[in-house]
């Protein structure tokens, strides 16, 4: 598949809120080491970390205890529609204490299933941590969910308690839908659930066995989990995955992004959920390129970003705001969700195949009025977003990568961090964050931000990553590394003296 240069820019939407080296051995972090007693963070650079063979998916601040890390070993994707069978776990949770040089591995092994589990997300509540995971049962083949409560002690190995999530069924939404789990492959399940915390609340947002989106909420009191109301949110999206028609790595998760869910809380306890969905009323029949997208999916359609607000009280109405997100599945992605008191930010990417754009996408910013951002780069994605009170927002991802304008093959990409002023039409690149991040070969990207009391900010992601065809003839090339870099907020937002 020839790989021609296109221009594809990241898509950013904000909505006013008055509305995821195939080898025989998985890289493993060092064994558990007893950390010293936590002290106040005085140098954010003590959190800086390089992870060989483990690109970072997400980070969360643990306050004085450091950072909770979700990392992953890269894996071969389907090749020409044929599944690559593997039982490797793929993802790992690590704990980077500021007074220890290397991070500590946290092993997630639930006691209620023998099936292979796949970690989907991490969250922090005070100095405790949580993880969500999925697993596929074999007889019958169904998708199940679970949660882990991780208590981090300064005196030794973390204590972990597991909670199985009861089967979620919603007859009104589940009916007349093909069995969703039959199309699941193990890596598809890695992004179909997310968790978020607020106060003493923990929320799980996930897709059930046929793809219906639902939420379970819990009140956490010490070791007690008090379940709240289960609520269905959105009907399934009917887009069964077929597979890559060439290549061994889905760089931007183009084939699985349609299943992804995103969740966060606003300060008043409102749960905010974002996902992509189809419209019953719109069917796009225009060919968006010379290569039919039905090669990748059994069905294609215009996609909408559905932003659902779930009030803290179950008897209050759920409100969903719909925004058109772009072209068919795979070319329109929702990659992050951020909420402040009165704003909701969605970031991602969208490609256009009009004759005039030649694959160029326009970055949209919507707070009731459409605006545009043009990073003036070859191709771009907006994979991470962070907003602090009374400061500009931070946006991160990868840019300067090339994509086949008639398909999904991607080559290259450079990590970036930029500041974004609300309403601005451009991004201001901040070189300090990534000054010591090097990618000697391959793709790099920023995937996650976290902040500690608004005065320390950390960025994390991948370096030395593969492109779509890097490992086609040599599976040992399917590998990448991870990084975390931290700075004082004032180093980022204070203008240099003239």
**What pLDDT score was predicted for residue 488?**
93
Residue the block writes with tokens 């980022």: 492
Kindly indicate the confidence band of residue 278, based on its pLDDT and cuts at 50, 70 and 90: low
Cα–Cα distance for residue pair 92/23, rounded to 1 Å: 16
Residue that the structure tokens 């996609």 belong to: 303
Q: Please, are residues 325 and 332 in contact by the beta-carbon 8 Å criterion?
A: yes
What is the C-alpha separation between 297 and 236, in angstroms, rounded?
A: 15
Helix (H) or strand (E) holding 119: strand 117-125
Residues with Cβ within 8 Å of residue 73, at least 6 apart in sequence: 21, 26, 27, 53, 54, 88, 90, 91, 92
Higher pLDDT among residues 294 and 275, named by residue: 275
Distance between CA atoms of 201 and 268, rounded to whole angstroms? 12
Strand partners for 143: 136
- Write the pLDDT tens digit of every residue in 70-124: 999 987 765 444 444 444 558 999 999 988 889 999 999 999 998 888 899 999 9
- Share the mean pLDDT of the chain: 76
Q: How far apart are CA 51 and CA 462, in angstroms?
A: 9
Name residues whose C-beta falls within 8 Å of residue 114's C-beta, 6 or more positions apart in sequence: none
Tell me the CB-side half-sphere exposure of residue 11, using CA atoms within 13 A. 22
* pLDDT greater than 70 at residue 250: yes
- What is the C-alpha separation between 411 and 402, in angstroms, rounded? 5
Burial class (CB in 10 A: 0-12, 13-18, 19+), 50: middle
pLDDT in tens, 357-408: 555 444 444 443 344 465 666 678 888 999 888 888 898 988 888 877 777 7
CA dist., res. 443 & res. 294, Å (int): 28
How is residue 171 annotated by DSSP? Answer: H
- Alpha-carbon gap, residue 54 to 29, rounded angstroms: 9
């Amino acid at each position: 598949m020839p790989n021609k240069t296109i221009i594809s820019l990241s898509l950013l939407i904000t909505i006013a809120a008055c509305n995821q080296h195939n080898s025989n051995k998985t890289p493993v972090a060092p064994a558990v080491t007893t950390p010293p007693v936590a002290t106040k963070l005085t140098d954010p650079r003590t959190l800086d970390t390089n992870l060989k063979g483990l690109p970072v998916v997400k980070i969360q601040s643990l306050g004085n205890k450091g950072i909770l890390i979700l990392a992953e070993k890269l894996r071969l994707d389907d090749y020409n529609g044929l599944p690559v069978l593997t039982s490797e776990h793929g993802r790992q949770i690590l704990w980077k204490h500021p007074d220890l040089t290397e991070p500590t591995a946290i092993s997630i092994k639930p006691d209620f299933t023998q099936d292979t589990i796949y970690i989907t997300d991490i969250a922090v509540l005070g100095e405790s941590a949580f993880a969500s995971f999925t697993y596929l049962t074999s007889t019958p083949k169904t998708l199940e969910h679970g949660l882990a409560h991780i208590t981090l002690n300064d005196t030794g190995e973390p204590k972990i308690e597991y909670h199985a999530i009861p089967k979620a069924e919603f007859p009104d939404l589940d009916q007349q839908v093909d069995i969703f789990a039959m199309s699941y492959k193990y890596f598809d399940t890695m992004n179909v659930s997310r968790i978020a915390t607020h106060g003493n609340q923990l929320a799980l947002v996930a897709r059930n066995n046929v793809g219906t989106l639902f939420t379970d909420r819990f009140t956490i009191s010490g070791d007690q989990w008090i379940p709240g109301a289960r609520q269905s949110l959105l009907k399934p999206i009917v887009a069964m995955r077929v597979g890559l028609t060439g290549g061994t790595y889905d760089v931007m998760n183009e084939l699985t992004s349609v299943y992804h869910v995103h969740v966060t809380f606003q300060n008043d306890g409102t749960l905010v959920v974002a996902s992509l969905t189809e419209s019953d009323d719109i069917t796009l029949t225009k060919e968006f390129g010379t290569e039919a997208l039905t090669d990748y999916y059994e069905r294609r359609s215009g996609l909408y970003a559905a932003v659902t607000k779930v009030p803290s009280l179950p008897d209050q109405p759920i409100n969903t705001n719909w925004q058109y997100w772009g072209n068919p599945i795979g070319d329109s992605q929702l990659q992050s969700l951020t909420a402040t008191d009165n704003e909701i930010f969605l970031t991602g990417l969208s490609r256009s195949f009009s004759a005039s754009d030649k694959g160029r996408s326009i970055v949209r910013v919507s707070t009731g009025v459409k605006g545009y951002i043009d990073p003036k780069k070859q191709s771009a994605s907006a994979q991470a977003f962070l907003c602090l009170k009374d400061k500009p927002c931070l946006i991160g991802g990868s840019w300067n990568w090339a994509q086949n304008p008639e398909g999904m093959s991607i080559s290259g990409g450079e990590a970036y961090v930029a500041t974004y002023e609300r309403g601005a039409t451009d991004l201001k690149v901040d070189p300090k964050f990534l000054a010591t991040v090097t990618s000697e070969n391959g793709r790099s990207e920023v995937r996650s931000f976290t902040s500690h009391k608004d005065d320390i900010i950390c960025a994390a992601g991948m370096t030395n990553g593969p492109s779509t065809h890097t490992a086609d003839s040599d599976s040992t090339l399917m590998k990448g590394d991870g990084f975390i870099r931290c700075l004082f907020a004032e180093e980022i937002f204070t203008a240099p003296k003239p």
